[in-house]
């Protein structure tokens, strides 16, 4: 079994590996640890096809750790806009600053030092250090879990901590310590392109001779996962307060909140017994100490996050009284509608902006 993982699988990978910008070696023949690091952070919860153009833009603007460390957070988040899971970007930015401050701008090759960086968990450390420095650490992500549970027909709940630890131990045993990066990429590539969640291409899998799930004719029965709880749904109301100069009021989310550091239109959850319009008036009063008059809605947006869904109602508002001031002390800004693209917004807010711009460009009937 170990021979199949250490010989047949890497040999298959050499001929099947997809070209990716972060796999390109530098002038010294080795990969740039910084580029590997950026790619691994982006690829968490994101498909390769989606992450690739973001990676190119990000590394063109921030080609080194120092470039990223010296950038402002707003610019970092703007380049990350649309990838989601924005805490990854904030942590990467802070970690780059720590690398410059504590490691003279060199990505640390020591596991303990790397794990001390913001956002650097076990997977990120194993991926970056094995790919960039040949450190013998086995990765465990969704692709690896799928491959291992199928090859060994592991029928324990793959979401449980106990099973994850068992799978990590198994990956550690199978890892080729002489070529850990190649081994890790081989297993992840297999899971991404052959051992897929649905309709796996078992006949062309280099491990099908030893795969117990394939022998049983039931690869899609693995991994075994417990049922998720129902996804909550929230109704949200936001206000587009626009002044006489066609500027719209926006506020920045707190650093420690979900989507922290991004800009948004003020608003919040609709409470029981409220209409979305009433909730908009109340939320702006509570958040910004202003009274607004709500007119017809501009947009209704359905959006799904990882653990909940929302329906967002966006209303054009007129400021009746009060001077806007954030109750949490976060920055607020009056921004011309055609300049909103300069700011990083969550995707649902971005769709509201599209509707607002479309409305502003629509011909007026006299």
Active site residues: 40
Please count the other Cβ atoms lying within 10 Å of the Cβ belonging to residue 141. 18
The span from the CA of 79 to the CA of 57, in Å, is: 7
Asked, as a colleague might, if the bond just before 223 is cis with ω within 30 of 0, I would say: yes
| 66 annotated as belonging to a binding site for a ligand | no
Please count the other Cβ atoms lying within 10 Å of the Cβ belonging to residue 123. 16
| 316 annotated as belonging to a binding site for a ligand | no
| 72 annotated as belonging to a binding site for a ligand | no
The span from the CA of 128 to the CA of 44, in Å, is: 13
Locate tokens 């029965």: which residue?
221
The span from the CA of 264 to the CA of 258, in Å, is: 12
| 276 annotated as belonging to a binding site for a ligand | no
| 336 annotated as belonging to a binding site for a ligand | no
The span from the CA of 130 to the CA of 139, in Å, is: 9
Cβ neighbours for 23, distance < 8 A, ≥ 6 positions apart: 17, 31
What does R_g of the chain's alpha carbons equal in angstroms? 24
| 62 annotated as belonging to a binding site for a ligand | no
| 278 annotated as belonging to a binding site for a ligand | no
> Pick from 85, 82, 92, 79: which is nearest to 36 by CA?
92
Please count the other Cβ atoms lying within 10 Å of the Cβ belonging to residue 330. 16
Q: Specify binding-site residues for 8-oxo-dGTP.
A: 253, 264-267, 349
Q: Specify binding-site residues for Mg(2+).
A: 267, 287
Q: Specify binding-site residues.
A: 253, 264-267, 287, 349
């Amino acid at each position: 079994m170990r021979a199949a993982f250490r010989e047949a699988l890497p040999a298959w990978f050499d001929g099947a590996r997809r070209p990716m910008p972060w796999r390109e070696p530098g002038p010294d023949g080795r990969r740039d640890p910084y580029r590997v690091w950026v790619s691994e952070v982006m690829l968490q919860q994101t498909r390769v096809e989606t992450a690739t153009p973001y990676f190119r833009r990000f590394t063109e603007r921030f080609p080194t750790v120092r470039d990223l460390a010296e950038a402002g957070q707003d610019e970092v988040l703007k380049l990350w806009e649309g990838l989601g899971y924005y805490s990854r970007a904030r942590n990467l930015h802070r970690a780059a600053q720590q690398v410059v401050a504590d490691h003279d701008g060199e990505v640390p090759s020591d596991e303990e030092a790397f794990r001390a960086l913001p956002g650097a968990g076990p997977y990120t450390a194993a991926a970056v250090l094995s790919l960039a420095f040949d450190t013998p650490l086995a990765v465990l992500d969704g692709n690896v879990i799928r491959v291992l549970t199928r090859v060994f027909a592991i029928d324990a709940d793959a979401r449980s901590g106990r099973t994850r630890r068992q799978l990590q131990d198994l990956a550690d045993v199978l890892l080729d310590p002489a070529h850990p990066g190649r081994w890790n990429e081989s297993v992840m590539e297999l899971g991404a392109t052959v051992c897929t969640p649905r309709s796996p291409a078992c006949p062309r899998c280099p491990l099908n001779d030893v795969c117990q799930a394939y022998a049983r004719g039931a690869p899609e029965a693995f991994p075994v996962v417990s049922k998720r709880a129902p996804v909550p749904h929230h109704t949200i109301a936001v206000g587009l307060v626009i002044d006489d100069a066609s500027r719209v009021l926006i506020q920045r989310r707190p650093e420690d909140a979900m989507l922290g550091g991004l800009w948004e239109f003020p608003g919040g959850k609709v409470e029981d017994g409220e209409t979305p319009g009433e909730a908009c008036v109340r939320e702006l009063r509570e958040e910004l100490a202003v009274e607004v008059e709500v007119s017809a809605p501009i947009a209704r947006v359905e959006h799904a996050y990882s653990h909940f869904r929302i329906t967002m109602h966006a209303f054009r508002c007129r400021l009746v009284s009060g001077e806007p001031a954030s109750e949490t002390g976060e920055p607020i800004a009056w921004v011309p509608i055609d300049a909103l693209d300069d700011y990083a917004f969550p995707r649902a807010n971005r769709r509201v902006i599209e509707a607002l711009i479309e409305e502003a460009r629509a011909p007026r009937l006299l």
